[in-house]
Chain A
Amino acid sequence: MKRAPGWLARSLPWLLLLSLALFPLLAPSLDLDYYVGFIRHLLIVMMAATSLNFILGYGGMVALGHSGFVGVGAYTVVALVDGGVTSAWGAWLAAVAVAGAFAAVIGAVSLRTRGVYFLMITLAFSQMLHHLAVSLSAYGGDDGYSLHAPLLLGVGLDDAHPHVLYWVVLALAALLFTFSCRLAVSRFGYALRGIRDNETRMAALGYPIYRIKLAAFIGAGAVAGLAGALLASHNKFVSPSVMHWTESATLLVMVVIGGLGRRWGGPAGVALWLTLAEVLKLYTEYWRWPMGLLLVLIVFLAPKGVVSLFEGPRRAG
């Protein structure tokens, strides 16, 4: 049995990154211009999914309110733009901080419960955030808010340029993904999985369970906030529907079909889901029907997520 992956498996992520980076340059000649925006959206959702996979797959916290933090990030950008802020980095950073702060408060309360109660309470919090957004008439309420002025990225660039935003998103997504891989094999990652697998034993070993879970929850919320901020720049529009609970559920399903607790689970699930939806929409307006059937098929064929199909046999015990 091989311990280290072969050169192909090792270089695959780099090839993927390279081709993604070159894609906007090649797209016009291939008549695929539209898909630059599609992939940009995909990369943003991947960040949110990866952060959810971290607390759900590695931490065993079944949260059904993750899109709430995406919304907090998006509305932070709205509030700042409305207040006259023009720096993209400033707005995005603020979104991370505010979403992290919301996650700290929501996590501090929710993490006192477990299992289905945790799920319900995170759902309740995200519904509260959704209703709060609906009631914010200054930011358009139910109708949402359009971001007209571009946010400045420095050196004369701004987020209105589709390719520039694409590359910024790609760089952030790659950075975040690399960090999440490292996190998984760090002390913190092992501790989090230990708590998922056997919380009582972890407590008896001297681990501060609550603090470790809360730290993971805050980190995941902050990253979801970044995804929300980028989504605001991507769409130039934010409405309360980004934080509707069905968005949280979709995110959860994406992670599950991708591969719970597997490093490529988030990206694979998002890519699969959004691509399927995109393809089916070409053929029919009623794309949810075949989508549902395909999902059932996927779950039966790969109950541990599509990523598990590409894993070699596990190292023999």
Chain B
Amino acid sequence: MSLFSADGLFKHFGGLVAVDRVSFAVEPGEIHALIGPNGAGKTTLINLISGLLPLDAGRLVLDGADLTGLPPYQRVRRGLSRCFQVTSVFGADSVFDNLMLAVQARAGSSFRCLRRRAAEGSLRESALALAQKFGLDAALDRAAAILPHGDQRKLDVALALATRPKLLLLDEPLAGMGPEDSAQMVALLHRLRTETAILLVEHDMDAVFQLADRISVLDYGRVLASGDVASIRDHPEVQAVYLGTEASG
């Protein structure tokens, strides 16, 4: 059985159909890439799956649990996590406090109000372990807003991973990164696949072909094609709408 299945997802904004009966599945341990031209509906799809936008129709199932209609925080509790296309961290806070906040979300109640959080050793340890995994341990005391772009993207992914998801939604994790940062992020995502399945929206085709087990192509809100890397690379229709010169060049 698939780890995650989306079935007939539909969303329109007024007369514009943004996501048109999209169905796909993600298998356990898989990196499933979602590609398509700008405006194809990729980010809308991510917002529908994570619950930040309400679905007009369709069904979402993760690991046997029906997510359709659940508010975002309950989807997170059932194992869904995401990061954002535009880096979304707590800019004024230190990297450490960012990680603490993410770890805290997963570890018990956030309604505790008498105990100092700084005294909770297990939270600190989880936050530090996360920093180490993402190579952020040298920047713990720095405010997130003044980190270099590449480190902010890493922090964004680290926050998403702190909730220990079964399925991680990554919306263009490589956006705006230089080649060095990109290579680091790709290596990092490689390592993450042992912990969680990933739904990856990305424009960097080199990275997609390196990482993805399967690829779905989205165009005008519909799934144009879905398959393994080789079949997508050679798919004539996909080449026409999207890959174009990039694939042949």
**Chain B residues in 8 Å Cβ range of A207:** 73, 105, 110
* With A204-B72, A206-B106 as contacts: A317 and B94 at CB distance below 8 Å: yes
Which of B52, B72, B142, B143 has its CB near the most chain A CB atoms (within 10 A)? B72
Q: Does the CB pair B77–A188 fall under 8 Å?
A: no
B142 engages A201 (CB within 8 Å) = no
> In the assembled complex, which residues on chain B have CB atoms less than 8 Å from the CB atom of A253?
none
B186 within 8 A of A: no
Kindly list chain A residues whose C-beta atoms are within 8 Å of the C-beta of B93.
197
Chain B positions within 8 Å of A215 at CB level: 111
Query: How many residues of chain A get a CB closer than 8 Å to chain B's CBs?
Result: 26
Within 8 A of A (CB), among B211-248: none
Q: How far is the CA of A204 from the CA of B163 in the complex (A)?
A: 10
In the bound complex, residues from chain A placing their C-beta under 8 Å from that of B114 are 182-183, 186
Cα-based distance from A187 to B91 in the complex (angstroms): 19
Binary flags per residue of B84-125, CB closer than 8 Å to A gives 1, else 0? 100011111110010011101110011111111110100000
Tell me, rounded to whole Å, the shortest Cβ–Cβ distance linking A187 to chain B. Answer: 4
> A111 to nearest B CB, angstroms?
14
Any A CB within 8 A of the CB of B68: no
B196 contacts chain A at the CB level, 8 A cutoff: no
Partner of A201, one of B51, B89, B100: B89
Q: From DSSP, what is the main secondary structure of chain A's interface residues?
A: helix
Chain B contacts for A205, CB-based, 8 A = 76, 81, 101-102, 105, 159, 162-163
A111 to B143, CA, bound (A): 30
Does B160 interact with chain A (Cβ within 8 Å)?
Answer: yes
The answer to whether B111 and A194 touch across the interface, beta carbons within 8 angstroms, is no
Are B90's CB and A185's CB within 8 A?
no
For residue A68, CB closer than 8 A to chain B, the reply is: no
Q: Mark A246-282, 1 if CB is under 8 A from B, else 0.
A: 0000000000000000000000000000000000000
Q: A194-B90, A207-B73, A215-B111 are in contact. Are A182 and B105 (CB under 8 A)?
A: no
- The answer to the question of A221 belonging to the interface, with a C-beta cut-off of 8 Å to chain B, is no
In B127-173, the 8 Å CB interface with A consists of: 141-143, 146, 159-160, 162-163
User: How many residue-residue contacts, CB under 8 A, span A and B?
Assistant: 102
* B-side contacts of A182, CB under 8 Å: 113-114, 116
Q: Nearest-CB distance from B161 to chain A (Å)?
A: 11
Q: Is A237 at the interface (CB under 8 A from chain B)? A: no
Given A197-B92, A204-B50; A186-B115 close (CB under 8 Å) = yes
Q: A197-B90, A197-B92, A200-B52 are in contact. Are A206 and B112 (CB under 8 A)?
A: no
Q: How far is the CA of A25 from the CA of B16 in the complex (A)?
A: 75
CB distance from B87 to the nearest CB of A (A): 10
Report yes or no: A317 in contact with B146, Cβ–Cβ below 8 A: yes
CB of A71 within 8 Å of the partner chain = no
**Closest-CB distance, B54 to chain A (whole angstroms):** 13
B73 lies within 8 A of A206 (CB):
yes
B49-75 contacts to A, CB under 8 A, are 50-52, 71-73
The smallest C-beta distance from B65 to any residue of chain A, in angstroms, reads 14
Are A187 and B76 closer than 8 Å at their CB atoms?
no
Complex Cα distance A28/B142, Å?
Answer: 53
A212 in the interface (beta carbon within 8 A): yes
The reply to whether the CB of A203 lies closer than 8 angstroms to some CB of chain B is yes
Which A residues are within 8 Å of any B CB, using their own CB? 182-183, 185-191, 194, 197-198, 200-209, 212, 215, 315, 317
- Beyond the given pairs A205-B159, A208-B71, 9 more chain A to chain B contacts, judged by CB atoms under 8 angstroms and listed by A's residue number, are A185-B117, A187-B109, A187-B112, A187-B113, A201-B88, A205-B81, A205-B105, A206-B72, A317-B94
Binding site for A on B (CB under 8 A): 50-52, 71-73, 76-77, 81-84, 88-94, 97, 100-102, 104-106, 109-118, 120, 141-143, 146, 159-160, 162-163
